[in-house]
């Protein structure tokens, strides 16, 4: 009986909304990976609109089981903080981590970043899964689209 409920719970997670975004970057995979895993790099691009590094703070312990915490000021001047745990770390290839806003820690979701060499650059596939509802997914899609535009500008510079 417990197995059936575990399968049902897994099916429920699989049915929750998700989003996938891709970017072809001119930078090599090592530079893209470093942009996600080195706090001083992440602070240069992580955030909405034109990022001001002085307003973004990142603490990253990039290893399986390691924790991260990122705080930034949004375009409306409001402070946002997100944190999670790294679940999979493959240098220059893949990161998987939990994602939970400080304001709604019970709404944990999961981010997978795949980094693959592509014609002298990198194909980045960004997958964010297990949103609580479609509104949360849509809000994150707008945010991530802007953030990944910032990442592209940062690594391709």
Instruction: Encode pLDDT of 54-105 as tens digits.
Output: 678 999 999 999 999 999 888 788 889 999 999 999 999 999 999 999 999 9
Structural domain boundaries, residue 74: 18-156
> In the chain, how many domains are there?
1
Token duo for residue 77: 């001047």
- Choose the weakest-confidence range: 4-8, 116-120, 138-142, 145-149: 4-8
Contact predicate 28/121, CB 8 Å: yes
Residue 125, H or E segment: strand 121-129
Token duo for residue 150: 């910032």
Reduced to 3 states (helix: H, G, I; strand: E, B; else coil), residue 26 is: coil
CATH number of the CATH domain containing 111: 3.30.530.20
Q: Indicate the pTM of the whole model.
A: 0.87
pLDDT at 53: 61
131-140 pLDDT, tens digit each: 999 999 999 9
Reduced to 3 states (helix: H, G, I; strand: E, B; else coil), residue 38 is: coil
**Per the domain annotation, does 6 fall within a domain?**
no
**Per the domain annotation, does 93 fall within a domain?**
yes
Contact predicate 67/82, CB 8 Å: no
In whole angstroms, what is the distance from residue 41 CA to residue 11 CA? 37
- Give the pLDDT band of residue 8 (cuts 50, 70, 90): very low
In whole angstroms, what is the distance from residue 85 CA to residue 94 CA? 14
**Per the domain annotation, does 124 fall within a domain?**
yes
Token duo for residue 59: 């603490």
Cβ neighbours for 39, distance < 8 A, ≥ 6 positions apart: 58, 59, 60
**Per the domain annotation, does 1 fall within a domain?**
no
**Per the domain annotation, does 2 fall within a domain?**
no
């Amino acid at each position: 009986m417990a197995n059936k409920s575990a399968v049902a719970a897994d099916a429920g997670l699989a049915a929750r909304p998700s989003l996938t975004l891709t970017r072809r970057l001119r930078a090599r995979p090592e530079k893209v990976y470093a942009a996600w895993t080195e706090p001083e790099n992440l602070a240069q691009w992580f955030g909405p609109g034109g990022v001001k590094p002085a307003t973004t703070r990142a603490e990253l312990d990039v290893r399986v089981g390691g924790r991260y915490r990122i705080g930034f000021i949004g375009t409306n001047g409001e402070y946002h903080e997100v944190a999670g745990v790294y679940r999979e770390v493959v240098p220059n290839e893949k990161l998987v981590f939990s994602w939970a806003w400080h304001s709604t820690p019970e709404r944990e979701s999961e981010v997978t970043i795949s980094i693959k060499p592509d014609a002298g650059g990198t194909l980045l596939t960004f997958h964010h899964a297990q949103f609580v509802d479609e509104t949360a997914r849509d809000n994150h899609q707008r945010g991530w689209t802007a953030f990944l535009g910032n990442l592209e500008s940062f690594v391709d510079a």
